[in-house]
Amino acid sequence: MRGALEPAWAIGVELESGAVAARSALVVVDMQKAFDDASHWGPRNNPDCERNVGALIGAWRERGQPVVFVRHDSVEEASPLSPGEPGNAFKDVVRGEPDLLVRKHVNSAFHGDPDLEAWLRENGVEGILVCGIQTNMCCETTARVGANLGFELRFAIDATHTFDLPDHGGGTIDADELARVTSANLDPEFGRVLTTGQAIAELEPAP
């Protein structure tokens, strides 16, 4: 049952349970310090994002499943995400060495360096769990591309966050609404949207 104060986007979609890939990579997208600057990005949602990402990283490592960090190295002039800028660094919650570090300058982690798809296949990884920033931008794009490439997709909606976005009618779409739409876009068309707790409960030790 949904808690009275829990936003709709934070509820994992309840579907018939299916087999979860025995080897599933945690793909942590763009958890970078630049996104802490509210004066640049505007209001955000989900203050629990960082805590939930940390819980996922800990659970994946504890069970010996692969962890992938993705860093956005912007090529846009004056971007706070550009290499060499303080904001390019990972947030403190992104600790330790990943099994793979992907650098990108577009939305999809599958269009970065090194080749994420190739690495997953070489290591026998059949599924991905996506988390990070921003829900409706790089996280959703990575999720869509991964699913289209044939990976079993899970998306930890409460381990992502995003920002209010201007619409083309002069108004604003708030971050919670954007996250709710991402959930609807992805599940069930591309995969499953679930919570951090649900993702950890399903996680098995690596074979």
CATH code, 127: 3.40.50.850
Average pLDDT value for residue range 6-10: 59
Compute how many other C-beta atoms are within 10 angstroms of the C-beta atom of residue 37.
12
Work out how many domains the chain is built from and give that number: 1
pLDDT value at 1 more than 90: no
In a domain? residue 55: yes
Which range marks the domain in which residue 183 is found?
23-202
In a domain? residue 7: no
β-partners of residue 113 are 103
Give tens-digit pLDDT for 27-80: 999 999 999 999 999 999 999 999 999 999 999 999 999 999 999 999 999 999
Alpha helices in 42-139 (DSSP H): 49-62, 116-122
Q: What is the pTM of this model?
A: 0.92
